[in-house]
Structure 1
Amino acid sequence: MANFTKKAIIDAFVKLLNEKTLAKITVTEIITTCEISRNTFYYYFEDIYNLVDYLFNTEIEKLQEITMTSESLSDECELVLDFLKNNRTALKHIYDSANRDQLERYLFKALDQTMLNFVKHCFKDIDIPQGDLHFLARYHKYALVGFLINWLADDDDEELESLLKRISLLTEESIRNYIEKLLEISRQKE
């Protein structure tokens, strides 16, 4: 019953978030929508911002489980595409609120492990220093978050699919070139 109630609260919140900005959503609206008491809401969440954090952390866990099975960054981007398109209004409402930093932290955290897993997977057979792997993942994570934030600020839904494909191709090629240069420098030192 507890999981059902928590899911009902989250579903009600996401429904409301797709209709209005975060600042205009109240606990009263959430509890009315999912037909629970105020005490029940506060049993699960301290406030709406705690609910946002929980929602983001849950989505990060789902994303990381999914991306562990993909073979390329392009595959990973395809997996993320539906989530972004289906939740664009809700994400935009959070982005346009005073809680923009929560969304940015979510994107950075979600992509942090995803990019690192991808870089490690691409070069699992090559001995590359951990510092370089982390640098590559971090560099491309920042680029991708920048593009996603810009996409949220723009109104062109159709561009996202093309944008993610272009980013993934550029990222994969950039990583390969960087690794080749590292290996070349390493061979020259020997």
Structure 2
Amino acid sequence: MSLMTKNALAASLKAMMERSSLDKITVKDLVADCGVNRQTFYYHFQDIYDLLGWIYKREALDSISNYRTYNTWQQGFLKIFQYVLDNKKFCMSTYRSMGREHLELFLHQAVFDLLMSVIEEVNANMQVRVEDKDFIANFYTYAFIGIMLEWIRNDMSEDPRVMIDRLSVLIEGDMEKAINKYVKR
């Protein structure tokens, strides 16, 4: 029952964001649309932004769990782009609202986790300090998020596959180089 309620609240919020800005949606509006009471909402979520974060984690992060290797990271990134494109109004409403931080947090978590898995794979036979691996993952994470936010800002007009191909060419071999540089330190 609990997951059904969360899913119902998520579906209501997404539907409401198709028609209205996130900043204009209240918990009162949401529970009325969903047919539950405020207490039920607050039993599951602290606020609308908590629900927003739950939606991104549940819908998007699970979809990239099988693409966290050196050979599949491109498909993982493509899945992230595809999720944003498939949920364009929802993501644009988040991007243009106070919820933008939640979108950026979701993107950071998704990209960082994906890249850290790749770094761990490349680092398998080397000894690199945890803080150095975190630094490498954060560097690439912010680069990728910057590219994605610019894509969103430009109304998602460029084909994500083209962008992933460009990224792949640009950074091919760079993670190994970065890890090797930290091994030599």
Report the TM-score, using the length of structure 2 for normalisation: 0.82
| Structure-2 change in CA distance of 1:140 and 1:132 (3 Å) | same
Equivalences, count? 184
How far apart, in 1, do the equivalents of 2:109 and 2:181 lie? Answer: 28
How far apart, in 2, do the equivalents of 1:27 and 1:10 lie? Answer: 12
Map of 1:55 onto structure 2: 55
Deviations 1:123-144 (A, max 9, x none): 43x3141344333211111100
Superposed, which structure 2 residues align to 1:3-152 within 5 Å?
3-59=3-59, 61-63=61-63, 65-68=65-68, 71-124=71-124, 126-130=125-129, 131-152=131-152
Could you say what the CA RMSD is over the residues aligned between the two structures, in angstroms? 2.6
Q: Secondary structure at the match of 1:66?
A: coil
| Structure-2 change in CA distance of 1:168 and 1:115 (3 Å) | same
Give the deviation of 1:19 after TM superposition: 2.8
Give the deviation of 1:113 after TM superposition: 1.4
Structure with the greater alpha carbon radius of gyration = 1
How far apart, in 2, do the equivalents of 1:121 and 1:73 lie? Answer: 12
Are the counterparts in 1 of residues 74 and 164 from structure 2 also a CA contact under 8 Å? yes
How far apart, in 1, do the equivalents of 2:132 and 2:19 lie? Answer: 43
How far apart, in 1, do the equivalents of 2:168 and 2:93 lie? Answer: 26
Question: Percent identity between the aligned chains?
Answer: 24
| Structure-2 change in CA distance of 1:118 and 1:24 (3 Å) | same
| Structure-2 change in CA distance of 1:166 and 1:19 (3 Å) | farther
Is the deviation greater in 28-37 or in 148-157? 28-37
Structure 1 runs (4+) greater than 6 angstroms displaced:
none
Deviations 1:14-57 (A, max 9, x none): 12223321112222332233222333223222321221232234
Report the TM-score, using the length of structure 1 for normalisation: 0.80
Map of 1:169 onto structure 2: 169
